[in-house]
Amino acid sequence: MTAKGRFGLVIPEINSPLDRDFVEGVYAQAKALGYDIIVYTGLYNCLREYRYDSYISGLENIYTLICVHRLDGIIFAEERFHTQDVIDKINGYLMQTDTPYLVLGSSSEIANNMNADEYGSMYRITRHMTDEHGCKKLYCLAGVPNHKSSEERVRGFVDACKDCGIIVADSDIRYGWFWKDIPAQLGREIADGTVGCPDAVVCCNDVMAAALIDSLKQNGIRVPEDVKVTGFDGGWDSLICQPSVTTIAGRDKQFGADAVCRLYAMTAGIMPKQELFGQSIRFGRSCGCCKESTLEPHLIEMIMMNREKRTFIATDFIHRMSDAQSVSELSEHINEVCHIFKGVKWLDVCLCSDWQGDMNNPDDFRQYGYSDEMFMLLSRREDNSGKAFFSFPTAQVLPALCEPHEPHLVMLTSLHCSGQIFGYTATAYTDLAFLAADEYFVSWCDSVANGVKSLQKRLFERYFSKQLEKLSETDPVTGIFNRRGFIIHIPEMLNQYNNEGRKSYLLLITYYPEKIGAVDPRSAIDGILTELCIHRLCARIGENTYAVMIPSEDAEGIANTSENLIAAVESALLDRFGDIRLPEFVTCTAVFGSSESSEIERVVDEAVQFLTDRKKAAESNFTDYRELIYRLRRNIVSQPQRDWEIENISHDIGISKSHLQRLYKQLFSTSIKDDVITSRIKRAMQLLEHTDMRIAEIAEQCGYNNENHFMRQFKEKTGMTAAQFRREKRSLTL
């Protein structure tokens, strides 16, 4: 089915099995109706101990998107939030939009609201204890007092008891957070006789039921023989507790599906029938019922493992992301570690258009909301069809949602660091078994945000450095003239060369790649050119673009000077760094015809543009031939005995011999000839060690027509003769 609309779901976290059940119910029903679900989650839901923490505020900023995104309807799971000020903020955002919305677990008279069926299921499980087990004295462990959900469950308990003629005293109901101290206290009081021992205790959630069973057992009271216990919610705690807990299962899935049906009726005017999920009693041994549902041991083991954490996956994503030098490199590094998330159909990283901040005022940055346009930093798809590095309207949510697709669940989370809002991440699923919103996911999000922050700092530093360069004439580190210094001194040199009767040429030099392995040659080239051009005007006028003024009689003279200068630079680089793979240099020339500043600027600008185009063409040409040259080397290594004539190879590839040799050297830091010799000697060493072939035969097998030639090269490469090598290897195996 192709998605025809999208509903938003505002939820604080997706951590517990009950959270996942609720989201599964929402998505299953929405998918059946042909709708995407856009989940807005802050991944955090505490009692605001760190109320004004900028990190928490950044997480919760994701909820502001519901005012901006184009949605057909919104479900606000208010009952799942613990903090009133967050609830109030979200209600404020909802009131700013014209989108229909449904609030869950609220008694507000302003908004459309809906509550789960707590009463009926609690009534049913209480009557199970009275009717089938004959319980006459029952206690109830309730949740938070004055909470809608808790009160409905308590009302179901009380009415079930009354309908059986059982009087419920106020002391028979105990309120508290859905946690463990109240059950532990009740277990001790039952054991020491502080309160009368009941026939059964009906708990309003499974965590309390499991805690009560543990407390009773620790105090010598048997469950279910002495006291029967039931829970509510159908969570993992009911399954792994010993004995297993009789509970109500399906509440959250049903509530999620019912909410989607209600929202659909609000938007489409038709109420669909919800037939996917319902609530039922799941029997365990805690009530003594013979109808117990059991789980196989391996399923219990799996539940326990998932309850603790996912399997650890080793990946250095914190360092990778913080080390990026550019936007494209950051995107690549993020993509490299996305394998830790399984079953993700789409993974998008979207940055605000102002993520870089104000370069002139670094303290001025986005602290709230999102920009009207987002920048797609990364768009990863299972079929590798994702596209990145473009802008799109924030109202779209994601560009992929505007194309035909089956209904997805898309989880949106905040990207922020040090109080700055950078954007949001989007992970889309069609199978919620893979839905990841755990500590691994949070750490990944934080690492992405930290990577963006680190890159932002680098961009600030580069911008600041350029601003300093504009105010000075030289590079503050290497002392070479910058563009400003070069332009200022050109008229002086023009006058000097004109007086000498010589033309003034501009020589521009650049290179690629910008880094040679771990070596950045820029500062070295600064120093080398400064030394070589001590009597000429020389400058670095761009990131890796150099300019030299050269007097010459004609174009042929400037060409010779250019070649000699590049050769000298290459030689100096080898002397400084050793046998590194040299960069490929690209040059162009222009003639200065006037000393007018506007004319000088025009000549320099046009020459720089021409050099840039030439460099791109050279890089593209290099890329086109690179795979062919990689294949050539693989063939040399695997078949060294062949006749590897460079002239024939270059003819087959379609480039000149000099170009082929230059590209080969640049890629592998060695020549074709040396690679052929090395591969042949390695093959000979293998044959000498592992066969009884005569040396003459081995020489022929390795591509040598002359045995003496083979012997000479073998000794040059290994330091011993072939016979000595064979004897030494054979003696080692004896």
**Looking at the structure, do residues 355 and 391 belong to the same domain, yes or no?**
yes
- Output 635 or 166, whichever has higher pLDDT: 166
Flag whether pLDDT at 467 surpasses 70: yes
Q: Could you tell me if residue 207 is inside a domain?
A: yes
Q: How far is CA 268 from CA 23, 30, 257, 265, 277, in A?
A: 22, 13, 16, 5, 22
List the single range of 41-50, 218-227, 419-428 with lowest mean pLDDT.
41-50
Q: Is 95 in the same domain as 43?
A: yes
Residues near 178 by beta carbon (within 8 Å), at least 6 away in sequence: 143, 144, 204, 205, 207, 208
Tell me what pLDDT residue 308 has: 45
pLDDT the model gives residue 733: 61
pLDDT at position 549: 92
Highest mean pLDDT among 196-200, 203-207, 620-624: 196-200
Mean pLDDT, residues 387-404:
94
Task: Based on the fold, state whether residues 173 and 141 are members of the same structural domain.
Answer: yes
Last residue of a domain, one of 587, 617, 647: 617
Is residue 565 assigned to a domain?
yes
Instruction: Supply the mean pLDDT for the chain.
Output: 87
Supply the pLDDT for residue 40: 97
Question: Rounded mean pLDDT of 146-154?
Answer: 84
Question: What is d(CA 265, CA 698) in angstroms, rounded to the nearest whole number?
Answer: 84
Highest mean pLDDT: which of 197-211, 381-395, 495-509, 720-734? 197-211
Q: Do residue 270 and residue 223 come from a single domain?
A: no
Contact criterion met (CB below 8 Å) for 363 and 431:
no
User: Of the candidates 463, 485, 502, which is a domain's last residue?
Assistant: 463
Residue in the block written with tokens 């003769």:
721
Q: What is the pLDDT of residue 309?
A: 47
Q: What is the CATH number of the domain that holds 78?
A: 3.40.50.2300
- Can you tell me the mean pLDDT for 609-629? 77
Q: Above 70 in pLDDT, residue 517?
A: no
Yes or no: say if 15 and 411 are a contact pair by the CB < 8 Å rule. Answer: no
Q: Mean per-residue pLDDT for 428-445?
A: 90
622 in any annotated domain = no
At residue 302, the pLDDT reads 47
Q: What is the pLDDT of residue 583?
A: 82
Among 142-146, 509-513, 639-643, the minimum mean pLDDT is found in 142-146
Q: Same domain for 509 and 451? A: no
Domain assignment of residue 205, yes or no? yes
Question: What CATH number does the domain containing 574 carry?
Answer: 3.30.70.270
CATH of the domain at 685: 1.10.10.60
Among the residue ranges 45-49, 235-239, 532-536, the one predicted with the least confidence is: 45-49
409-417 and 391-393 strand pairing? unpaired
Most confidently predicted of 324-338, 402-416, 495-509: 402-416
- Three-class SS of residue 529? helix
Residue 129 sits in the same domain as residue 87: no
Is the residue at 325 inside a domain?
Answer: yes
Band (74; pLDDT cuts 50, 70, 90): very high
pLDDT of residue 43: 87
Q: Is residue 629 part of a domain?
A: no
Residue 246 and residue 286 in contact, taking contact as beta carbons nearer than 8 Å: yes
Where does the pLDDT of residue 621 fall: very low under 50, low under 70, confident under 90, or very high at 90 and above? Answer: low
Establish whether the linkage from the previous residue to 243 is cis, with ω within 30° of 0. yes
Q: Same structural domain for residues 43 and 125?
A: no
pLDDT computed for residue 299 by the predictor = 43
Mean pLDDT of 212-218: 94
If asked whether residues 105 and 155 sit together in one domain, one would say no
Distance CA 177, CA 46 (A): 13
Tell me how far apart the alpha carbons of residues 90 and 106 are, in angstroms, rounded to a whole number: 13
In the prediction, which pLDDT does 65 show?
96
Per-residue pLDDT of 113-142, as tens digits, reads 998 888 999 999 999 999 999 999 999 998
* Tally of domains within the chain: 5
pLDDT at 66 over 90: yes
Residue 363 confidence (pLDDT) above 60: yes
Give 129-135's long-range contacts (Cβ < 8 A, gap of 24+): 129/199, 129/200, 129/202, 129/228, 129/230, 129/287, 130/160, 130/161, 130/164, 130/166, 131/164, 132/289, 133/199, 133/200, 133/228, 133/287, 133/288, 133/289, 134/199, 135/198, 135/199, 135/200, 135/228
Residue 217: predicted pLDDT = 94
Lowest mean pLDDT among 144-148, 288-292, 414-418: 288-292
Structure tokens at 38: 């856009």
Q: Which two tokens stand for residue 719?
A: 């330091």
Same domain? 449 vs 332: yes
- pLDDT band at residue 464 under the 50/70/90 scheme: confident
Residues 50 and 77 in one domain: yes
Q: pLDDT class for 510, splitting at 50, 70, 90?
A: very high
**Three-state SS at 409:** strand
The CATH number of the domain holding residue 423 is 3.30.450.40
pLDDT value for 298: 43
pLDDT confidence of residue 27:
97
Q: What pLDDT is recorded for position 48?
A: 53
Q: Is residue 541 part of a domain?
A: yes
- DSSP H helical segments within 418-503, as ranges? 439-471, 483-499
Partners of 64 in the β-ladder: none
Tokens of 523: 């500062």
Q: What is the DSSP string of 624-669?
A: HHHHHHHHHHHHHHH-TTS---HHHHHHHHTS-HHHHHHHHHHHHS
Q: Are residues 57 and 150 in the same domain?
A: no
Assign 256 to helix, strand or coil: helix
Read off the pLDDT of each residue in 412-427 and give the average, rounded to a whole number. Answer: 95
For the ranges 85-89, 256-260, 473-477, 663-667, the maximum mean pLDDT occurs at 256-260
Structural domain includes residue 238 = yes
Distance of CA 664 to the CA centre of its chain: 36
Regarding whether 75 and 106 lie in a shared domain, the answer is yes
Is the backbone of residue 668 left (phi > 0), alpha (psi -120 to 50) or beta? Answer: alpha
CB atoms within 10 A of CB 620: 10
CA–CA separation, 544 vs 567, rounded Å? 17
Domain termination residue (choose one: 463, 496, 517): 463
Find the range with the poorest average confidence among 138-147, 458-467, 663-672: 663-672
Q: What is the pLDDT of residue 296?
A: 45
More confident residue, 179 or 97: 97
- Can you give the residue range of the structural domain that contains 339? 317-463
